[in-house]
Amino acid sequence: DWSMAAYRDEAIEKIRKQVGKGRVICGLSGGVDSSVAAVLLHEAIGDQLTCVFVDQGLMRKAEAEEVVGLFRGHYNIPLVHVDASDMFLNALSGVEDPEVKRKTIGRLFIDVFEDEARKIGGADFLAQGTLYPDVIESVSFSGGPSVTIKSHHNVGGLPERMNMKLVEPLRELFKDEVRALGRELGLPESFVGRHPFPGPGLAIRCPGDITREKLEILRQADAIYLDEIRKAGLYDEIWQAFAVLLPVKTVGVMGDGRTYEYVLALRAVTSVDGMTADFYPFDMNFLGRAATRIINEVRGVNRVVYDVTSKPPGTIEWE
């Protein structure tokens, strides 16, 4: 793509100008945005860049292995893999409010990045894969008054005491443009086409109190749901699909016994930029198949529901 090749060269120049001889830490989340930002930065400044993948204990099944594998195997980009799950899950214990979850997670991420910066003798910049819609949603929503829907959209929302400056090379791009740039940079199609995944991970797909037990149930159910979506050939038609574990138990019957287990909600939407979205009109047979598999294979879930809310008025994530 001609325009993306030109954009990429411009972006590389801009990064070099901003960063100079400085050292940069880039947090990798497993999502498309941070991966594209990391590869772009690597082209621009080579070994002035250190990538850090923080496993906060809120990843999906096999996510950590996939990301670490891609970066260590395909690129020679130095990658630090930090297992911080105990720290994150302990800090989140008893936290129910979605915004408190986000702020707790955001603060811990910065702590980890600053720690890693110290280990490499200091860093001047923190790189983020902030996109244009993140910037817009922090200013106004649907042209209305200035409100913050979710704190990640509040791009000024980093702790004030942070002593690294920000580098945000994707700040002018929409998701489809980030994907085009990723292709231009040679990222594998399987990675470029991945559904978006939020920085706070499964924490915001587990409304209410988060426990290791609930996260494990959610991880298993989510993997089955996505497996069924891939088998049905629907993955690329959908902008984002995931499961949400509700903090509600209901009565069921299995074999000749009564069960009392969690309700799981399935979500799938189509969208162009994540700012508005429509629920995906699955065939009922598909939903029935996914629900049956989840209930049969995952202990702890005895009822599955499908979310038919579009955005607005719903948001894509439940928290």
Q: Which residues bind ligand XMP (CB under 6 A)?
A: 102, 149-150, 152, 196, 198-200, 240, 274, 311, 315-317
Cα 91 from Cα 167, distance rounded (Å): 28
| Residues 319, 207: Cα–Cα separation, whole Å | 7
d(CA 170, CA 34): 9
Sheet holding 125-127, edge to edge: 79-83, 49-55, 24-28, 125-127, 165-167
Residue nearer to ligand XMP on the CB measure, 173 or 295 = 173
The answer to the question of whether 29 is labelled as a binding residue is yes
Q: Are 203 and 58 in contact (CB under 8 A)?
A: yes
The answer to the question of whether 30 is labelled as a binding residue is: yes
> Considering the complex, what minimum distance in angstroms separates the CB of residue 181 from ligand XMP?
18
CB of 20 vs ligand XMP, minimal distance in Å: 28
The residue with tokens 């891939």 is: 230
Least Å from the CB of residue 296 to ligand XMP: 28
CB of 74 to ligand XMP, least distance (A): 23
Q: Which of 43, 273 has the CB closer to ligand XMP?
A: 273
The encoded tokens of residue 274 equal 């994540």
Residue 84's SS3 state is coil
Is residue 34 part of an annotated ligand binding site? Answer: yes
Residue 151 counted as an annotated binding residue: no
* 182/274 with CB nearer ligand XMP: 274
Structure tokens at 260: 């009392």
**Choice between 199 and 302, CB closer to ligand XMP:** 199
- CB closer to ligand XMP, 85 vs 148: 148
Nearest to 270 by CA among 226, 235, 221: 235
* Residue 52 CB contacts under 8 Å (≥ 6 apart), including other chains: 25, 26, 27, 28, 79, 80, 82, 112, 113, 116
Give the nearest distance from C-beta 86 to ligand XMP in angstroms. 22
Binding-site residues sit at: 29-35
